[in-house]
Each structure stands twice: as structure tokens, then as C-alpha cells.
């Protein structure tokens, strides 16, 4: 596995591969890698798999969250080597991604970015789109692999590619979960033992609510039940739970208003913010 910190080194290697006719798949991450990240690399059907690790400061609207974001570069490298899932790891310092002459591109996502994460984390998607756009410019992959876990992020990145008229193919990979259902996340390591034991309630509630709604339970009462269960368990501070149209991300008041419905949730558990989602119907 090649490991580069400089854009020029990465671009030289990738241009050599491309000259040999090889296709390049790209998995951008913020590190603290886990099996979910590896599953994205393993899903890549391209000849070459590139992974980046960059904790992007511009997408954090909370300074403490940025500071506390786990950083485990040695373990990340070991995981990529052990899993043999990556050909090139890019670990740039901030000034490589944002050089002094960098002019951020502004995208208008309209209603897509105004709901859910966009409503609770102002500026988050501007920063995320900026870094994805910059990393795509640097890596110039044929395919981009992203996780269903960050459902709204995938929609926004699809919109970025559309607005850029980009030929890059976006591939969405299912959420990898722990045996007890908890969605794998870099943030999970910040849960204490008690919180970690409670965390699977999130997915348990999402799947219960999905079943109930498919049997006719109205959306508002299914959402109320999730909230009640989280509050009863203690330690949770839910931010939102909502069923949205999978394309527009706008809230649905009834399941039959759309043929693609996704139940999305964000909650604090202690000092850790967790998100998850399930497709209710498609």
C-alpha cells in the first residue's frame, strides 16, 4: 500500500495507474477506521482503491466535536494493511487540502440541505461538499464509494456531482453494523460501557418502527414511540426522528405519499452524537 501526504505524490502515482488503463475507486474518510470503512473499499470494483483520511475542519460546526474526533493513524494503517483493501492511502495535512490560494466553491443544495443534519449542524454540508469537491479534484477517481449510514450526505454528494456535471459514478454501500445492531461509527469508541450497552436500542427502535409503519401505524405515533423508548432508556437526547422521501429528503406525513421512504434519526448518547437510518420501503 502506498501512503502519501502530498497531493503531487498522489497525483503522480494515480496518473501512472491511469496510463496503464486502470480504473480508480475512492473512499474518503475522516479516519478512526473500522470495518464499515473497509467494507466500502471491499465494495470497490475498480482496479485501484484509494482511501483518504482527513478530519475536515470546515465541516465541524462544534469546536469540541472537532477536537474530540478520534484520530488513530497507526491503527488505521494497520487495518488497511491487514484487510488488504487499499492500494493507496492519502493522509494530507490541512495545508495540502486547503492551500492559501484555495477558493472554496459554493453549492446551493436548496431544500436537501435544510432538513435533518442541515438543520441541526449549520454549515456542515457546505464544509463537507467543499472537501469532497476538493478531494475529487485531487484524486480524480472513476468511482466514489460512500456509506448509506450517512444518508443525507450521500444525497448531497450526488447533488454535488450533478451540479458539477461530473462523470464520477457514486456507489452507495449498505451500513455495516455490530452484532447487536449498532451502526459502526468512528464515534462509538467515545461511548462509555454503559452508553455502549444502550446504543443498540437505536437500531432496535428503527426496525420496530419500520415494521409497525408497514403494518399501518401512522408516522407521528411511530416517531413518538421511538422518542419515548430512548428517553425511558436514559442517557439519550434525541435531536430528530423523521421519515423522509428518499429522493427529496422532505418529511412525509404518510407512508403512501412516497414509494421510497427512509426513517432517519440523530440522537445524543451522553456526549456522543449518533445517527442512523433504515429504508422503510423502496
- Does residue 52 touch ligand AMP according to CB under 6 A? no
* Cβ-based nearer residue to ligand AMP, 138 or 173: 173
Tell me the C-alpha to C-alpha distance, in Å, between residue 59 and each of 102, 125, 215: 16, 7, 39
Binding part of the chain for ligand AMP, among 41-49, 108-116, 141-149, 272-280 by CB under 6 A, reads 141-149
- Does residue 182 touch ligand AMP according to CB under 6 A? no
- Does residue 258 touch ligand AMP according to CB under 6 A? no
**Secondary structure of residue 26 in the 3-state scheme:** strand
Among 46, 85, 175, 205, binds ligand AMP (CB under 6 A): 175
- Does residue 92 touch ligand AMP according to CB under 6 A? no
**143-162 residues near ligand AMP, rule: CB under 6 A:** 146-147, 149-150
Binding part of the chain for ligand AMP, among 18-26, 30-38, 92-100, 232-240 by CB under 6 A, reads 30-38
**Secondary structure of residue 14 in the 3-state scheme:** helix
Active-site residues: which are they? 37
Among 25, 29, 48, 235, binds ligand AMP (CB under 6 A): 29
Rounded to a whole number of angstroms, the minimum distance from the CB of residue 33 to ligand AMP is: 7
Tell me the C-alpha to C-alpha distance, in Å, between residue 224 and each of 183, 205, 220, 269: 22, 11, 6, 18
263 bridge partner residues: 243, 278
Rounded to a whole number of angstroms, the minimum distance from the CB of residue 252 to ligand AMP is: 23
DSSP 143-170: EEEEETTSHHHHHHHHHHHHHTT--PEE
- Does residue 49 touch ligand AMP according to CB under 6 A? no
Among 36, 118, 141, 246, binds ligand AMP (CB under 6 A): 36
Whether the CB-CB separation of 27 and 37 falls below 8 Å is answered with: yes
Tell me the C-alpha to C-alpha distance, in Å, between residue 246 and each of 43, 160, 169, 224, 238: 22, 17, 19, 21, 21
- Does residue 39 touch ligand AMP according to CB under 6 A? yes
Instruction: Taking the CA atoms of 80, 28, 279 and 205 in sequence, report the sign of the dihedral they define.
Output: positive
The pairing of strands 261-269 and 236-245 is: antiparallel
Residues in contact with ligand AMP by the rule CB under 6 A: 29-30, 36-37, 39-40, 146-147, 149-150, 173, 175-176, 183-186
Amino acid at each position: 500500500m502506498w501512503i502519501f501526504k502530498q497531493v503531487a505524490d498522489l497525483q503522480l502515482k494515480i496518473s501512472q495507474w491511469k496510463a496503464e488503463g486502470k480504473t480508480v475507486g475512492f473512499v474518503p474518510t475522516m479516519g478512526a477506521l473500522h470495518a464499515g470503512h473497509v467494507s466500502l473499499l471491499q465494495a470497490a470494483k475498480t482496479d485501484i482503491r484509494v482511501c483518504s483520511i482527513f478530519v475536515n475542519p470546515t465541516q465541524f460546526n462544534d469546536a469540541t466535536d472537532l477536537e474530540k474526533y478520534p484520530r488513530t493513524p497507526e491503527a488505521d494503517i494497520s487495518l488497511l494493511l491487514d484487510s488488504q483493501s487499499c492500494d493507496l492511502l492519502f493522509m494530507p495535512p490541512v495545508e495540502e487540502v486547503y492551500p492559501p490560494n484555495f477558493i472554496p466553491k459554493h453549492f446551493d443544495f436548496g431544500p436537501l440541505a435544510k432538513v435533518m443534519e442541515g438543520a441541526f449542524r449549520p454549515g456542515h454540508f457546505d464544509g463537507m461538499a467543499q472537501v469532497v469537491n476538493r478531494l475529487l479534484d485531487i484524486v480524480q477517481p472513476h468511482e466514489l464509494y460512500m456509506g448509506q449510514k450517512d444518508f443525507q450526505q450521500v444525497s448531497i454528494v450526488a447533488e454535488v456531482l450533478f451540479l458539477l456535471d461530473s462523470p464520477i459514478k457514486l456507489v452507495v454501500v449498505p451500513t455495516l453494523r455490530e452484532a447487536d445492531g449498532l451502526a459502526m461509527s468512528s464515534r462509538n469508541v467515545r461511548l462509555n460501557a454503559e452508553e455502549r450497552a444502550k446504543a443498540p436500542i437505536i437500531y432496535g427502535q428503527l426496525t420496530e418502527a419500520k415494521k409497525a409503519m408497514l403494518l399501518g401505524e401512522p408516522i407521528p405515533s411511530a416517531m413518538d414511540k421511538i422518542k419515548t423508548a430512548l428517553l425511558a432508556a436514559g442517557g439519550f437526547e434525541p435531536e430528530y426522528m423523521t421519515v423522509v422521501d428518499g429522493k427529496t429528503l422532505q418529511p412525509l406525513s404518510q407512508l403512501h405519499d412516497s414509494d421510497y421512504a427512509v426513517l432517519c434519526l440523530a440522537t445524543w448518547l451522553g456526549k456522543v452524537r449518533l445517527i442512523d437510518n433504515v429504508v422503510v420501503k423502496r
